[in-house]
Structure 1
C-alpha cells in the first residue's frame, strides 16, 4: 500500500490491471488460501500511523483479541503488538471468520482512541493480510520473526524487552533454552526463503 503512493499514475494503472488479471482485489490484500490451518496475520494502522503508542492500548488490543478469538475457537500461538501494526500466528478453522472479529475489535478501538486523541473520524486500521503456514520450518521461523519484530523496528534491543509479545509466554512455558534452540534452528534471516517452492 505504501509503495503504491510512490508510483506514477501509469505505474499505478499497470499494477491495478495486473492485480485484477490475477483475480486479486485492486487495492486490498488478497486472501488466496482459505483452508483450515495455521496463518500469519498482519494488521496495520492506516498509513502506519503510530496509534498504538502506549502500553495500555497495546494491552487492551491484546485482551480483545484473545477474548474474541477464544470465543470463535481460534488458537493464538504467537503475537506481537507494536505501535503501528501487529502480528498474530493463529490456527484458524476458517479464514472467513476473521472479518467479523476484526470489524468488532477495530470498531471499538477506533472509536475509543479517536475520542482520546480528539481525532474523530480518523481512519485507524487498514485491512489484514494473511500468509498460510506451509511447513514446520515456516511455522517456527514465523514465530521467531514475530518475537524479533520489536528489535527489527528499533523499539528495543532484545525481544525480551517488549511487553506485548508472546516471547514472555514461551519463556515461562518452554524456557530460555527452548527459545534459544528455536532461534538457532529457525533463524529469522531465512524468513520467506523457499516457502513457495
Structure 2
C-alpha cells in the first residue's frame, strides 16, 4: 500500500483534469513496472493505491519517482507554475496478513467517503470502488464491505 501527498497538503489536484492525469499516470507506471493495482483513490492533495508487487518489488521507488516527476511537470504546465514543488513524499506499507490487506483495500476503495467527497465511493471517478463492483465476484465485494477499517493506521491527515 502506498500513500503519497502533495507538498504542504495544497489542493493542487483541484480539477477533474488534474486528478485524471495523476490516475492515468499511476495506471501506466504500474503497468510498466509490473505492479498489479488492486485499489486506488486520487484526492485533491494525495493519493493511495494498493497493488500486488512483481517478483522483485525493488522498483517501487523508481515507479513512484516516475509518477511524481511526470505529473509534477504536467501539473505545473497546466497551472503555469514552472518549478513549483508538487509532491512531498510517499509512505509504503508491505502488507502480509490477509485481514490487514482486506482492511486496506476497503479503506482505499472508500477513501472519497472518508474525506466527505461523496456518499457513495462508486460515484467518485478517481477511485476504484466502481471498478471493484463491476469486476470482482459479488461474494468478495460483499465480504470486503463488511471489513472494518477502524483499527488500521493510515497516515492520512489530508
Instruction: Return the TM-score normalized by structure 1.
Output: 0.71
Q: State the distance in 1 between where 2:62 and 2:94 align.
A: 19
Q: d(CA) in 2 for partners of 1:60 and 1:77?
A: 19
Q: Aligned residue pairs: how many?
A: 152
1:84 pairs, out of 42, 45, 51, with: 45
How far residue 183 of structure 1 moved from its aligned partner, in angstroms, is: 1.7
- Alpha-carbon distance in structure 2 between the residues aligned to 1:82 and 1:176: 27
* 1:171 aligns to 2:137 (yes or no): no
Residue pair 2:122, 2:128 contacting (<8 A) in 1 also: no
String of CA shifts for 1:141-190, please: whole Å, max 9, x gaps. 10110012111111112212211111111110126664233221x11223
**1:115 deviation in Å?**
2.2
Q: More deviation in 96-105 or 77-86?
A: 96-105
Task: Check if 1:42 corresponds to 2:23.
Answer: no
| Higher RCO structure (Cα 8 Å, ≥6 apart) | 2
Say whether residues 1:123 and 2:85 are aligned partners: yes
Calculate the aligned-residue CA RMSD, in Å.
Answer: 1.7
* Structure with greater Cα Rg: 1
TM-score (normalised: structure 2)? 0.87
Structure 2 stretches of 5 or more lacking a match?
Answer: 154-158
Q: Is the 8 A contact 2:5 2:47 kept in 1?
A: yes
Stretches of structure 1 lacking an aligned partner (at least 5 in a row): 1-39, 193-197
